[in-house]
Amino acid sequence: MKGRGGASAWLLLSLLVIVLDQSTKLLALAKLAPYESRAVIDGLLDWTLAFNTGAAFSFLAAADGWQRWLFAALAVGISCALIVWLTRLPRGDWRNAAPLALIIGGALGNLIDRLRLGHVVDFIDVYWGNSHWPAFNIADSAICVGAVMLIVFGLFAGKAADKRG
């Protein structure tokens, strides 16, 4: 049964993601020099302060600045749509609510950077040998984990219902 506001209590998870994301970015900005790597786990993980004016994998980073507003508008639009979806879910539907909350928190965390700084602050640098994954942040991680959860739970939702029915 849907409670009033549905699963909107899950927005607290979104808020937690935003707080963790913004606090770690502030720490990275205060403690790291741009593009200078600091080893955390030798051969696997560094802290490397980087700035991304584009989207995932620096998509459109070389554009003339208009992409800032495109990605900001997308973050607002997608977050609003996901919030509406979240409020229409039953409060106990954690398999949909948790991933949506993670995506919303991540999108809004990066939106804050775009509006405040004109770029997204990245600082987590994962690599193996000379092969580096593009630098990312807590917000990016929340978006990816949320998206994977939605896909996995979506793929197996019918199978779980079959076992119950």
140 a catalytic residue: yes
Gap between the Cα atoms of 44 and 37, Å rounded: 12
Three-state SS for 100-117 is HHHHHHHHHHHHHHHHHH
Query: Beta strands of 88-137 (E only): which ranges?
Result: 120-128, 131-132
Catalytic one of 21, 113, 125, 140:
140
Catalytic one of 46, 113, 122, 125:
122
The one-letter amino acid code at 132 reads H
125 a catalytic residue: no
Question: Are 18 and 25 in contact, with CB atoms under 8 Å apart?
Answer: no
| Active site members | 122, 140
